[in-house]
Structure 1
Amino acid sequence: MPGPARQAQILDVCRRLAVTEGYEDVTLERVARECNITRTVIYQQFGGREGMLTALIDREIANTAAGFAEATSGVRDGDVATAVRRVLEAVDADADTWRLFMLPAIGAPPELYDRLERGRSLVRRYLAESARRLAVGDAVDTEIFARLVHAAADEAVRLRLTHPEVYSIDRLVKQIVRLTE
């Protein structure tokens, strides 16, 4: 199997194990066994467990960032309903990736939290810039607005991931829109 395809296979197994069983169960032995390879192949591709998990996190952060960018692209300022709906649809389309970050399992590597905070900072900046473009005078404290909307959106994503049968996209969108009116 070519290097990139092998890396993808290894990272796919890592993601599944991290989501279903937790990072502690993502061992070189387990991943090698499930990929039908030797641990040496993992060392060649990633340098070891830490490198493998860092590569997983980097790949999945890139996927969530791309999903967020695609979901919010072309949404006009102030159209909260469309932006939230599209983000929640992106969550549904790649729930395991979003679970890694929104519901991190015990034993997650420190790199996860570092990259997660960087991603959250970018989302808050996006929200603050949107609020700034819409604000009239001093009517909105854009920093606080961005933090509060971000917290509500984070919780909406968590609710959608944990209980999609209870928290429909329509129900979540309706409430976030009410919060931002």
Structure 2
Amino acid sequence: MSTPRMNADERRNQLLDILCDIVLSEGFAAVSIDRIARDANIARTVIYSHFGNLDGMLDALVERTADRALAQVRSVVPDFPISEDPGDVLADAIGTFTSVVRSDPVTWRIVLLPSDGAPAQLRERLGSARNAIETLLSPLVEWGIEALGVRDLELDVELVSHAIVLLGEDGARLTLTDPDRYPPERLKAFARSLIMVATKPAAGA
């Protein structure tokens, strides 16, 4: 049976999608050029022409996954100037982020639920992406601290940004593994409660 003709980008994405399916269902140990070629119903030489070898293909998957994840995070960070209540803005960002995760579970399962045998380049690239996300959030966090009037708490912007990323990642894992129990609305409400608790002492001072 012949396969449909595709341009180079379509073929690369098709092969990376097949690689994703194998990784998510069976783990990285199940990946091989032979297996991908068989699942794609193409010759091995097609894969070599696009990626060079299996390591090149894994590198391409890592880059595509990290780029997609970072772009999706950027999409939920509001642009300045911001006129809304800072607590609502930060809670909305958590809720929107978990909705985005649910809309692209393939990307986020690789990011947040890596299977056994994940290559070192995946861990390294995702670590770099996490640092980039924290840097992206820092201006929003700094604005939030100013707008909430809690500067006297001497909150560390870098550590707060790190904590928000960890909260978002944990909420995303929950909504991926048990979506009915942990919908975005529940996670958003929880984030809003945390913000209220964190700022209450300063408000009453």
TM-score normalised by L of structure 2: 0.82
In 2: Cα distance, 1:118 partner to 1:59 partner: 14
CA deviation after TM superposition for structure 1 residue 74, in Å: 4.0
CA distance in 1 between counterparts of 2:191 and 2:24 reads: 27
d(CA) in 2 for partners of 1:159, 1:128: 24
Q: Kindly provide the amino acid, as one letter, of the partner of residue 143 in structure 2.
A: R
1:167 aligns with 2:182: yes
Distance in 1, matches of 2:12 and 2:37, equals: 12
In structure 1, what is the equivalent of residue 130 of structure 2?
Answer: 120
Relative to 1, partners in 2 of residues 1:42 and 1:141: Cα closer, same or farther, differing over 3 Å?
same
Following TM superposition, the consecutive aligned residue runs of length 4 or more in structure 1 with deviations greater than 6 angstroms are none
Question: Computing the radius of gyration over CA atoms, which structure comes out larger, 1 or 2?
Answer: 2
CA shift, 1:116, in A, is: 0.5
Pick one of 52, 56, 59 that aligns with 2:61. Answer: 56
Contact 1:84 1:173 in 2 (8 A): yes
Corresponding pairs, count: 181
The runs of 5 or more residues in structure 2 that have no matched partner are 197-205
TM-score by length of 1: 0.92
How far residue 174 of structure 1 moved from its aligned partner, in angstroms, is 1.0
2:116 match: secondary structure = coil
Match of 2:167 among 152, 157, 170: 152
- Unaligned ranges ≥5, structure 1: none
Which residue number in structure 2 is paired with residue 93 of structure 1? 103
* Deviation per residue, 1:61-91 (Å, 9 max, x gap): 1111221112224484721122112111110
1:110 is aligned with what amino acid?
A
Provide the C-alpha distance between the structure 2 equivalents of 1:52 and 1:102, rounded to a whole number of angstroms: 20
CA distance in 1: counterparts of 2:97 and 2:105, whole angstroms: 11
- Structure 1 distance, partners of 2:53, 2:12, is 13
Helix, strand or coil: the match of 2:180?
A: coil
Residue 191 of structure 2 is aligned to residue 176 of structure 1: yes
Give the partner amino acid of 1:101.
V
Deviation of 1:138 (Å): 4.5
